[in-house]
Amino acid sequence: MQILDWLFKVPTGPAPGTAAVTAKDRMRNMLTHDRLELPAGKLEVLEEELTAVVARYFDLEPDTTRFDLKQIDRKAALIANFQLVRSKC
């Protein structure tokens, strides 16, 4: 069977959890912090504060708020996603 596997190799992307994928994820996160000169843990504080502000105006769907620090070229973008239930105003 090994010979057959070798003959009919199907190209696949790297599986999650492999060393390469872990390295890439760690690199992305680390370089975003490096480039912004952002100390570890500060982002979490900001996320908490942002959530608290939005929660003053809206009821939020529990456990759905998400923050992503994305890389666009060599710049960073903070993308926040709040699922709003209803206005509190």
Partner 1 sequence: MCLVDMDIGLRNLDILMGLENRVVYNLVDVVEERCKLRQALVKDKRMPNLSLLPAAQTRDKTAVNADQMKKLCEELKSMFDFVLVDSPAGIESGFQNAIAGAEEAIVITTPEMSAVRDADRIIGLLEAQKDQITQYRLVLNRLRPKMVANSDMMGVEDVLEILSVKLLGVVPEDEEIIISTNKGEPVSGTDNTRSGLAFRNIARRLRGEEVPFMDLDVKNDTWVTRIVNFFNPVRV
Residues that bind partner 1 in the complex, under the rule CB under 8 A? 6-7, 9, 11, 14-15, 18-21, 23-24, 26-28, 30-31, 34-35, 71, 73-74
CB of 6 to partner 1, least distance (A): 8
Burial state string for 68-86 with b = 16 or more CB within 10 A and e = fewer than 16: eeeeeeeebeeeeebeeee
Beta strands in 1-89 (DSSP E): 58-60, 66-72, 75-81, 84-87
CB of 80 to partner 1, least distance (A): 23
Distance of alpha carbon 31 from the chain centroid: 14
CB of 27 to partner 1, least distance (A): 5
Nearer to partner 1, 19 or 40 (CB): 19
